[in-house]
Amino acid sequence: MNVRQNLDHIISRIDDACLRANRHPDEITIIGVTKYVTIERAEALINAGIKNIGENRTDELLNKYNEIGDAVNWHFIGTLQSRKVKEVVDKIDTIHSLDRISIAKQIESRSDKQIDCFVQVNVSGEAAKFGLTPDDVMPFIESLAPFKKVRVVGLMTMAPHTNNEEEIRSVFSTLAQLRDNIAEKSYSHAPCQYLSMGMSQDFEIAIEEGATHIRLGSKLVGSN
């Protein structure tokens, strides 16, 4: 698998999606998701130009961090257990799955630095997905004000796995509107500028609906 060719193809698709949405490609951050792949494949992705790496398990993040170090920005994109925060908090730059006060408390007590966080929202309402309901997001963000180490930079969601484009688009547009509502509040602890949404199967729709961070795994690095 040629990671460089994969990335070139992805960049071309991002450019096309941005053109349709009257956006600039520089607005889009690609997070290369390296779960289930070897350190060598992750390094190939970095050598191809990706500087943001996402992992969804603490053990895999630690394994790759120990080999790669601070050469990239590390994003934790999976469900983070409170007891695991201490293991990764000073190695990661961004958490994409903040949805509990217990996590914020652990960040506050364990981190040596302020951590950029996306609040995870279960827009689709699927039982199998983690995250807050849209109605719970604003109160949750307000409750984070006392935590000096937590900076809410945006919202994250996952669309349902479906071929119904309008259903996917509705999930993304709902998150974008929610982000706008929060940003209008001008919270000092929650500028909420960004949208982490869109994966290999739906990133173009996400870009058209305002995504700033897209999480791409299989389309970039395969699955093993």
Q: Domain residues of the chain, as ranges?
A: 3-221
What's the pLDDT at 123?
Answer: 95
Helix (H, G, I), strand (E, B) or coil at 153: strand
Mean predicted confidence (pLDDT) in 5-21: 96
Mean predicted confidence (pLDDT) in 206-213: 98
Helix (H, G, I), strand (E, B) or coil at 49: coil
Tens digits of per-residue pLDDT, 70-99?
Answer: 999 999 999 999 999 999 999 999 999 999
Tens digits of per-residue pLDDT, 19-56?
Answer: 999 999 999 999 999 988 889 989 999 999 999 999 99
What's the pLDDT at 224?
Answer: 57
Whether the pLDDT of residue 1 is over 80: the answer is: no
Confidence of residue 126 (pLDDT cuts 50, 70, 90): confident
Confidence of residue 223 (pLDDT cuts 50, 70, 90): low
pTM score over 0.85: yes
Show the beta-strand stretches assigned E in the chain.
29-33, 52-55, 73-76, 94-98, 115-120, 150-156, 194-196, 213-216
Residue of 90, 91, 19, 21 lying closest to 53 (CA atoms): 91
Q: Does domain 3-221 have CATH number 1.10.10.10?
A: no
Q: Which residues are registered as beta bridge partners of 204?
A: none
Tens digits of per-residue pLDDT, 136-151?
Answer: 999 999 999 999 999 9
